Amino acid sequence: MKSCIILGPSKVQKIKKFGGIKNIDEYIREAAKFFAKHFDSILIIPDDGIFLRVAREYKRIDKNKKVIGYIPGKTKNDKAKKLDRYYKYCDEIRDIGGGWFNLNTELTRQSDYVFCLGFSAGVFIELCSIKYNQKYIGLNTKIFIDQRCISQKLPKEVEVDLKNLKYFKNFDDIEKLKSFI
């Protein structure tokens, strides 16, 4: 079963404010259609954000596809409880345990494909975790960042640490990449 991880900001308006997305609903449909065509399941943190909206549309397109939500387990003051209301959009919930920091690192180990649909502080943690997954665990994670959703590329200092990093300007571009296959 081919799966991918979808990362992005919880505040969806960031991709409109800082990126070039004019119509968020149209973008969500385009993204979900691409993921439904190429992946049997998508992996997300079940929180309000671009990733959850894409996941909901992905399931609308094909009810046989799976959305798997990853959660941090019990956290100090149990702030993870806020995620409970989003579980209904997932076919399965997997408790990684170890809190938020562990979740960000562990999530990026769950698939060979990571799609970034916008930046946030949490997304940077997840992307930077991939360096260690690649270097010390030997994972061959492929990272795809949608340029339409960001204000600028990653700093060069970070790019050199991430193998298999590609930027794209539309989902059709990805299908043409040999690294995607």
pLDDT at 100: 81
Query: In this predicted model, which residue has the larger pLDDT, 20 or 177?
Result: 20
Tell me the per-residue pLDDT of 108-129, one tens digit each, with 9 for 90 and over.
Answer: 999 999 999 999 999 999 999 9
* Tens of pLDDT, residues 3-43: 999 999 999 999 999 999 999 999 999 999 999 999 999 99
Closest by CA position to 47, among listed 100, 4, 115: 100
Percentage, residues of the chain above pLDDT 70 = 93
> Nearest to residue 124, comparing CAs of 101, 140, 147, 93?
101
Mean pLDDT of 153-166: 96
What angle separates helix 121-132 from helix 99-107, to the nearest 10 degrees? 60
| pTM assigned to the model | 0.93
Identify the pLDDT of residue 166. Answer: 95
- Domains observed in the chain: 3-112+121-174 (3.40.50.450)
Q: What is the structure's pLDDT at 83?
A: 73
- For the cut 70, the answer to whether the pLDDT of residue 81 exceeds it is no
Residue 80's pLDDT is what? Answer: 56
pLDDT beyond 60 at 70? yes
